[in-house]
Structure 1
Amino acid sequence: MITRIFGLSIIVTVISLVVAYLYGGMTALLLCAILGILEVSLSFDNAVINATVLERMSEFWQRIFLTVGILIAVFGMRLVFPLAIVWVTAGLNPIEAFDLALNPPPNDAPYFDNDPSRPSYETLLTDAHPQIAAFGGMFLALLFLNFIFEEREITWLSWLEKPLAKAGKLDMLSVVVAGTGLVLVAEFLAADDDRSTVLVAGLLGMIVYILVDGLGSMFHTEEFEEGPQGGPSTLVKATGKAAFFLFLYLEVLDASFSFDGVIGAFAITSDPIIIALGLGLIGAMFVRSITVYLVRQGTLGDYVYLEHGAHWAIGALAAILLVSIGVHVNEVITGLVGVAFIGAAFISSLLRNRKGEPDAIEDSKEPASV
């Protein structure tokens, strides 16, 4: 099964490395491999969250996510998105932006011929970091807050999660906390020239999350049957409009997770072709394969704290994105924090299973269809 799940990712990796070598020699090959590893390390928590949503989708929509979704992830977020930022911020047309990306100034200087009127592609993208971080940070913050403010049978960090769940009975508390955090970040971390931009971008991130999550919940409620406890049954897979909005939710979520990887990639190389090959083809393909593996193996049902660990990793990533508006945070730290939460949740799940505690979601488990 592992060969079947990861086989395509391995083939794509080999092809990508060969293309990178033909494109730029051994240096390009090594950079491509490093970016692939970077993306997987930064996005493992993304794979866990993807799996929790993907389990609720019909087989057809699961395949849509794993085919059309991968095209959006590779070409949309890892290639077109950085170029689009340059189009908007620099007032360049797409061809000029792509030419600027392929022809950086010598010695990776921030400007051409020391002319501030001609910034490099990397400089333009880095200058757009505050609004990117504000949008992605607020989207992920709401995802995290809505999770920890919700009461649930199984808790991981019970000493903290249970009091937070009780506090979550206050309506819209997650929006209040997220909005307060955005104001504090704009006031104390953002540069004077960036405050309004950070506020607008952060509000847009909140609006997008509320809209997509709300639409998904609305159709989810209409199309899912009730389970034994009165909640939606996981035995009924989302189809039609419900699955479509879950698909949109996954794509926006993937985009939010991609921000730190795309920005971090420029610490390694500014070549868009290498970034697309490393982050997009290698990294994104392996993240999709990990997602499929988690769904098919029923890993989230066997290791019940993984979802909790992933959401805490999301909360940490959201905080890092917001802090990075005013303070540089090394990408290695970002990756290690996510891995630490997932690893701790996995070990806690193993210990729980050894104690023979009942699996609270045993009744909802079924063979996955991805």
Structure 2
Amino acid sequence: MSERRIIRIENLVTPKRRAFGILLHLHELDRKGSDTSALIRDSNLPAAVMSDPDMLIDIAAERRFLQRLLETEYSDVTPLEAGLAIGASTDISMFAPISNAAKFAGSCLEGLSMFLRFPELIWSNCCVAFGETDEEEFIEFVPETRNETLDAFSAARDMASTLGFIHGFYPDAPPPLSMDFQYDRDVTNRHLPDRLSGLLRFGRGRNELRMPKGFWTHRPITASAAMFRSLEMAIMRQLPVLRRQDRTSHLVTRQLRALEPIASLETVAGQLGLTARTLSRRLADEGVRFSALQDEVMVGRAKLYIRHSDLSLSQISDILGYSEPGAFTRAFKRVTGVSPKSWECR
């Protein structure tokens, strides 16, 4: 066998990542009619992950969720089969904005490399290597969970979704040779996605997506250097936000914007898995009051109603949950410096 040469390698596991990856799993369960709120509750995750894809989640908490997912929703198949089913059914465009940029890449290698640079935006639990031999090219997936169940699941999910990306955005690229897995050597009764079954090989030495020679340098039909650079820079501009540590005030504001009607202190605290007292104390440590955040979000929504609907100010006050129109007017003036009527006439 010819020498393996590694072109690029990167560990995609981060100590914390956004709840976006969990929401992708919940999307698949919603389509199956499963009770996603029960799964979140049983995994000891805050309910806020259901409405806030930007919420930072400990990698250990994410793995507890995946373990629970396998024990309940996919208990009738092996972890590898569950990973293949989820990965193969995933619409890879949901990994926007990476996928939006990658489809304009000048080569398949350049496009797939985009996923290595922004681990906050994906769901991988693997170390990923791009490489080649004299006869073929490959992507190797080395799971980093240190758990046999999650290792098999993660490798299968990541490989199947990667293949889905290739099929979706590079349909004219050389087709894969095989998908090789270290796991499930002795499993005889398999539940596998139809479109993958002809490619799969089990009990192999590595977890690899094997491609014919020339795949890395293949130029996609959608290639555009200008579009690729523009979208790449757009992602780069988002990185400071993606990589910041969540402040409590950020979490509260995002929950207030997500919930309808705009929620109380007790409701938001419950969503975040905190008591109202603890939430108030954490906000105070940041020099912020819950009522001020609540007013800011309410007034922002009120401006939309004033500008884009025929509702009266009294009706808007009721919709936003104020006890009476005077309370709405006072809150609006605290935030904007003018009354709703004055702002409407601008």
**Which structure would you say has the larger RCO, counting Cα contacts within 8 Å and 6 or more residues apart?**
1
In the superposition, the TM-score normalised over structure 2's length comes to 0.23
Answer with 1 or 2: which has the greater Rg.
2
TM-score (norm 1): 0.22
